Structure 1
Amino acid sequence: MSVTGSHQTGLPLAQHPTSIAAQLKARLPADDLTILPIDDERVQCLFFTTLIDQKRYHREIVPHLQAWAREPEQWRALFPQSKRLDQLEAAVDELLHGSVLLLGAGDPGHALAIPLRNIQHRSIQEPSVEKNVIGAKESFTEDFEINIGLLRRWVKDPQLDVRCYEVGRRSRSKVGVVYQADIARPDYVDKIVERIEAIDIDALHAHRELMDMLIDRRVTPFPLYEMTEIPSKAAAGLAKGRIAVFFEGSPFAVMLPTVMMTMIDGPENMLQGILVPGFVKAIRIVAQLLALYAAPLYLAIVTVDSFILPTEFGLTIASDQSGLPYAPVVEVVLFMIILDIFIEGTSYVAGNIGPAINVFGSLVIGEAATQTGLMSRMMMIITAITVIGTYLASYQLSYAVRVWKYPLIAAASIMGLYGIMLLSVGLLSHLCSLQSLGVPYMSPLAPLRLSDLFGREVIMSSTRDASLRTGIYAPQDRGRQPGGGGGAQ
C-alpha cells in the first residue's frame, strides 16, 4: 500500500513502554485514545475505543497479555496477525486504522500492532440509482473491502489485479485500482497510478474530488467517467479492458476509460437477448434527444419559424398562447427552470416527500398554471415530454442534457431552427473533442469503427457470436472465444 503525502518519518519509538505511550499521547491528544497500564506498567495497551472491536479485544488479546509479557519473543505465536513496529509514525498509522498497540518492557523500542478494526457498515442492498428488473439485486456499499469482495465474486480470475493506495495527508482515504492485468491496456493503468501517487493534498472525502485529480481538466457538463453501483456491471467493464477505481466511503465504482455510448446502456441490457438491447438503447437515445430538443424546437417554431406550421395547427397554437401575459421565450425558460427544480426535489428530498413534490408540481401547479392563463396547454405537453426524457436518460448524462438545453433555448429564441442547427454543430464538435484517458469520447462514432458500432456496443450481438472484445478500449487480449484471436489490435 502506498501512502501519498509527506509524513514525519524516521523518529524511533522510545525504549520504555510508558515513554512510548507518552510519545503516542502527545501525537494523538484525543479523548477516545485509551491507554491501559498492565502488570505494574510493564505492559501498555493502547487503542481507540471508537475504532476497535471491544469483544474481539477481550477475547483475542486480554488472555495472552501475561504470556506475552513473560516471553515477548513468542509474539508471532500469540498474536498471528500482529506487526512489530519501531517507528513512531507507523504506530500512529496503525492506531488510526483500528489496531491495538501492545508495548512491553521485554521488547524495548518496539510495539506490536494487532488489527481489530470495527467499522459499522450497512448491509448489501438493491441498487438505488441504477434500477433493474431482472438483473442482480446487489449493489456496492461504503465499505472498501466489501466492494472488492463483491467484485471478486464476479471475477474469479488470478489476473484480476488490485492496487491499494492512501490519499490525503489528513484523511488518508483508501483508493483501489482494479483491472484485468492481461486485458487492460498497461499505459491506461500507469496513467491512473501515476496521478494517484502524485496527489499531495490534505484531504479527499468524495469520489468527485478524487476524479478531479485523475481526469484531464475540461470545462464540460458531460461526465468523463462512469459511476456504477452494480458489481456485475463493473465486472463486465473489466472484461472489456476498462479499469475500476474504488474510493473508501463511496458505494460506487468509477469505470475508466469512458465513452458516451456505454453510458446509454441500461444495467440489464446483457440479460434481454439479441434484439431487445438495441431497442432499449434506441429508446434511451430518443429520450435524451427529447429532453434536449423538445423545448428549443417548440420555441423556434412558435416564434421565429412559425411559417413552417400547417395553417390549422398554427392557428391552434396562436389561440393557445393568446392569453399569456408574457412572450413564449419567457414561458419556456420559466417552466424549464421550474421543471429542473422539481427534478432536483424528487432526487434529493428524503423519503416519500420527493415523489409527493413531483405529483403536486406536475398535477396541481401545472393544471393551475394552465387554467389561470400562465401556461399554454402546448407548453404543458412539452414540459411533460422533457421530464419523461430526462428520467429515461442516463443519470449522469441527464445533467449535461439539462444544462445544454438552455443555450439551445437561447439560440432558438434568436435564430430559430437555424440557431438550433448551429449550436448542435458546436455541441457535436465539443463532444468529439473530449477524451477519457486518451480514448475519444464519441467512440465508436468518431472515429468511426463499424465493427464496434454494429457489435456489442450498440446493437447487442449474440454472446455465441461475440468472439472479439470491443476495440474501443484497446485491450491487450481481444479474443473472447476460440477463433477470436488474441493480442492487441
Structure 2
Amino acid sequence: MSIFNWFKKNKKRSTRPIPNRTSEPFQDISLDGRLDETIDAMMRLCGGNDDFSIRRFHVFGRYPAAMFYYSTMIDQTMVNGHILKPFMYVPLHLEKQDIEFRRLKEVLLQDSIFHSDVAIEIQFSKLVHSVLSGKTVVIIDGMEEAFVIGTRNIEQRAIDQPQTEQVIRGPREGFIEPIATNIALLRYRLQTTDLRINTMEIGRRTKSKVAICYMEGIANPDLLKEVKRRLSAIDIDGIMDSGYLEQFIEDNHLSPFPQVQYTERPDKVSANLLEGRVAILVDGSPLALVVPTVFSQFYQTVEDYTERFVLMSAIRLARLVALVFSLVFPSLYVAIISFNPELIPTEFAVAVAGGRAGVPFPAIIEVLVIEVAMEVLREATIRLPQQVGGALSIVGVLVIGQAAVAAGFASPITVVIIALTTIGSFATPAYNAALALRLLRFPLIIMAGIFGLYGVMIGLILIANHLLSLKSFGVPYLSPLVPGNFQGMKDLLIRGPLWWMTNRPSFLHTPNLTKLSDSTVDQLKQPPDNVMDPLKFKSYTDDSERRQE
C-alpha cells in the first residue's frame, strides 16, 4: 500500500498528528514516487517539532527533491557541503552529458555523492526512524527509493577515567554514552577478526541500539544463542540504560545477589571476552553488561592482574576479610553481647559493660538504629553534590557518632563495630554486590537478637544455600568453588601467577580452552640468563684498567 492510498483510506484519522508509532501503522507502506504526498506524510508525523526541517531543491537543477532532518541532531556543515551541494551540482566530468532520470540514482551514488554512509531505502517507516535517529533523508520526485545519509552529530562528554572503578595501575579510559565510541574502545584493545559485534533494536519508542559483543571461536555458541533469545523477548516502550536489560535477562529476579556484572572499563570487558563471556552494550549507557557471572568476579579488580601476584593475593585476602566483616560483624556482636558474653575476654568484657552502662536500649535495637542511620547518611552522601557530600560524611561520622555516645544513646563499642562494618562494605569493589551484603545484614542482626549464635549460623546457612541454588545462564554462581575445579581455584581466594592459569574457565565450556601456550610456560621454567652479571664482565674491566695504566 502506498502512502497516498493509506492517508486517503484513513483521512478522518489523519487530520490530527499521529503518535510516534512508525513501526505499527506504516510497517508495510512503501514509497510511491509522489514527492508532495511524502512531504505531507512527513509533516503529519514530525511537523509538530520546531527542529524538524524540510529543504526543497532541484537535483542537478532539473528534478524536484526534498531533504528531511532534525537540525538539533545533524552536522549542518556536512549537510550543506556533502549532501546538498553534490545533489544540486552536476559533477565536472559529466557537465556536458544529458543525465536522464533512469540514470539519476546511479550517477548520484557512483559519481556525485562523496559520503561513505549512504543507503537506499523504500520502506516509509524506516525512513522516519532514520530521521529520528539523526540521519538525513533525501527523496526525489518520481523515484520510489530514498537516500538515507548518516549525518548524526550529538555532543558527548570526553573519554575520562571511570568514576566507579578507579585503579592505581591500569588503563584510565572508561565507556561513555554513545555506543559507537564504546565499540571503538573495544576494537582498540581487541584488534582481531575474531571480535564479533551483533546489533539489534529494543524499545518500541526509543529504538535503543543494543550491541552483543563476543569472540568467535571462544564464546560458547549455546551461550550466545541464549543471550540473543532473552534480549529478543523484551518488548518494552523504552530502554534508558543497560540496567533495564539486566533486570530482564537475569535468572533469579528475586535474589539480592547480582547475576549480571556491569562495568564501565573497556579493559575489563576485553578480558572477559577473551575468557569466553558475552558483553552487552546499550546506546546511551556508559555501563556494559557481562554474562555469565559468578560470585568471585565481584571482589576481583583490574589491579589484581596488573600488579604482581604475591602482593595482590594478600590484598585480595584482605578484601575477603572486609567482605565477611560487612556481612556478619554486627550480628556476631549482637549475639555475643545478648546471649554469650562469656565468650569475651574478662578485661574486654568489663570495658564493654562499662561503655554500655548508660545505654537504655538492648544491643539489637542499638545496632539496628545505628545501622539505619548509617544507611541514610550514606545515601544522602551519594545524592548530594560532591563538594557538600564529602563534608557531610565527615560531619556525620565524627559529630553525630560522638554526640550519640556522649548522650548515652549508643555505646562506644557499638560505634566501632558499625564503623568497621561500613568500611568493610566500602572495600567491596562491586557496588551491587556490596549493596546485597548490606541488605542481608539486617535479617542476620534480627536473627542474632532472637536466637543468638544459632540464629547467625542459621542465617549464614540459608544464604549459602541460596548462593548454591543460583545460576547465571546455567553457570553455578559459586563456580569454580562449587562444583570444584582445581584450575579455577588458582584465581579464587588468591591470585595465582599468570603462568599458572593456562586455560580459560572450565565452567564457560569454551571451544578453545587454551589461553597460554606451553612454550611460554616452559620458557619461564628455564633459569634466567644473567647477561649483566658483574663477574661475566670482570675480565673486560681488568683489561681496560691495564690499558689506562
Distance 1:341 1:322 in 2: 27
The residue aligned with 1:434 is 470
| Contact kept in structure 2, 1:229 and 1:251, CA below 8 Å | yes
Give the direction of change, closer, same or farther, for the CA distance of 1:178–1:308 in structure 2 (3 Å limit): same
Matched, 1:221 2:239: no
Q: Which amino acid aligns with 2:36?
A: T
| Contact kept in structure 1, 2:23 and 2:125, CA below 8 Å | no
Q: Which amino acid aligns with 1:451?
A: Q
Report the Cα offset of residue 457 of structure 1.
4.2
* Aligned residues: CA RMSD: 2.0
Counterpart selection for 1:50 from 72, 75, 81: 72
Distance 1:374 1:241 in 2: 53
Matched, 1:33 2:52: yes
Q: Which amino acid aligns with 1:38?
A: F
Matched, 1:417 2:453: yes
How do 1:13-24 residues align onto structure 2 when only pairs under 5 Å count? Answer: 13-24=31-42
The residue aligned with 2:528 is none
Counterpart selection for 2:109 from 76, 81, 92: 76
How do 1:176-187 residues align onto structure 2 when only pairs under 5 Å count? Answer: 176-187=211-222
Q: Which amino acid aligns with 1:285?
A: L
Distance 1:7 1:405 in 2: 52
The residue aligned with 1:487 is none
The residue aligned with 1:252 is 287
Distance 2:181 2:428 in 1: 30
TM-score where L is the length of structure 2: 0.84
| Secondary structure of the corresponding residue to residue 472 of structure 1 | helix
The residue aligned with 2:523 is none
Q: 1:189-222 deviations in whole A, cap 9, x for unaligned?
A: 1001011122222212121211222222431111
Q: Which amino acid aligns with 1:402?
A: R
* Larger mean Cα displacement after TM superposition, 438-447 or 21-30: 21-30
Distance 2:191 2:452 in 1: 56
Distance 1:7 1:76 in 2: 31
TM-score where L is the length of structure 1: 0.94
Matched, 1:290 2:290: no
The residue aligned with 2:538 is none
Q: Which of 1 and 2 has greater Rg?
A: 2
The residue aligned with 2:30 is 12
| Contact kept in structure 1, 2:250 and 2:472, CA below 8 Å | yes
Distance 1:463 1:330 in 2: 48
Give the direction of change, closer, same or farther, for the CA distance of 1:218–1:90 in structure 2 (3 Å limit): closer
Distance 2:241 2:391 in 1: 30
| Structure 2 spans left out of the alignment, 5+ residues | 1-21, 91-98, 520-549
Distance 2:190 2:25 in 1: 36
Q: Which amino acid aligns with 2:46?
A: L
Matched, 1:404 2:440: yes
Distance 1:307 1:169 in 2: 64
| Contact kept in structure 2, 1:18 and 1:41, CA below 8 Å | no
The residue aligned with 1:299 is 334
Q: Which amino acid aligns with 2:120?
A: R
Distance 1:97 1:325 in 2: 63
Report the Cα offset of residue 63 of structure 1.
1.3
Distance 1:447 1:240 in 2: 19
The residue aligned with 2:534 is none
Matched, 1:174 2:192: no
| Contact kept in structure 1, 2:487 and 2:501, CA below 8 Å | no
| Contact kept in structure 2, 1:452 and 1:458, CA below 8 Å | no
| Secondary structure of the corresponding residue to residue 145 of structure 1 | helix
| Secondary structure of the corresponding residue to residue 309 of structure 2 | coil
* Larger mean Cα displacement after TM superposition, 287-296 or 107-116: 107-116
Counterpart selection for 2:383 from 344, 348, 365: 348
Distance 2:240 2:100 in 1: 44
Distance 1:351 1:419 in 2: 40
| Secondary structure of the corresponding residue to residue 369 of structure 1 | helix
Q: Which amino acid aligns with 2:70?
A: F
| Contact kept in structure 2, 1:468 and 1:480, CA below 8 Å | yes
Matched, 1:461 2:496: yes
Counterpart selection for 1:159 from 183, 189, 194: 194
Relative contact order higher in (CA < 8 Å, ≥ 6 apart): 1
How do 1:42-441 residues align onto structure 2 when only pairs under 5 Å count? Answer: 42-67=64-89, 72-73=104-105, 74-77=107-110, 78-79=112-113, 80=115, 81-105=117-141, 107-394=142-429, 395-441=431-477
Q: 1:409-455 deviations in whole A, cap 9, x for unaligned?
A: 001101111110111001000011100000000111111112211x2
Report the Cα offset of residue 349 of structure 1.
2.1
* Larger mean Cα displacement after TM superposition, 235-244 or 340-349: 340-349
Identical columns (%): 28
| Contact kept in structure 1, 2:468 and 2:478, CA below 8 Å | yes
| Contact kept in structure 1, 2:247 and 2:253, CA below 8 Å | no
| Secondary structure of the corresponding residue to residue 290 of structure 2 | strand
| Contact kept in structure 2, 1:179 and 1:238, CA below 8 Å | yes
Q: Which amino acid aligns with 2:57?
A: I
Report the Cα offset of residue 83 of structure 1.
1.6
| Contact kept in structure 1, 2:317 and 2:494, CA below 8 Å | no
Distance 1:439 1:67 in 2: 61
| Secondary structure of the corresponding residue to residue 161 of structure 1 | strand
Report the Cα offset of residue 5 of structure 1.
7.8
Give the direction of change, closer, same or farther, for the CA distance of 1:420–1:162 in structure 2 (3 Å limit): same
Q: 1:323-362 deviations in whole A, cap 9, x for unaligned?
A: 1122221110000011111222233322222211110100
Aligned length: 480
| Contact kept in structure 2, 1:5 and 1:201, CA below 8 Å | no
Q: Which amino acid aligns with 1:398?
A: A
Report the Cα offset of residue 277 of structure 1.
2.4
* Larger mean Cα displacement after TM superposition, 5-14 or 30-39: 5-14
| Contact kept in structure 1, 2:33 and 2:140, CA below 8 Å | no
| Contact kept in structure 2, 1:291 and 1:401, CA below 8 Å | yes
Give the direction of change, closer, same or farther, for the CA distance of 1:465–1:443 in structure 2 (3 Å limit): closer
| Contact kept in structure 1, 2:87 and 2:108, CA below 8 Å | no
| Secondary structure of the corresponding residue to residue 275 of structure 1 | helix
| Secondary structure of the corresponding residue to residue 227 of structure 1 | strand
Distance 1:285 1:208 in 2: 26
Report the Cα offset of residue 458 of structure 1.
4.0
* Larger mean Cα displacement after TM superposition, 401-410 or 40-49: 40-49
| Contact kept in structure 1, 2:240 and 2:285, CA below 8 Å | no
Give the direction of change, closer, same or farther, for the CA distance of 1:5–1:416 in structure 2 (3 Å limit): farther
Give the direction of change, closer, same or farther, for the CA distance of 1:170–1:42 in structure 2 (3 Å limit): same
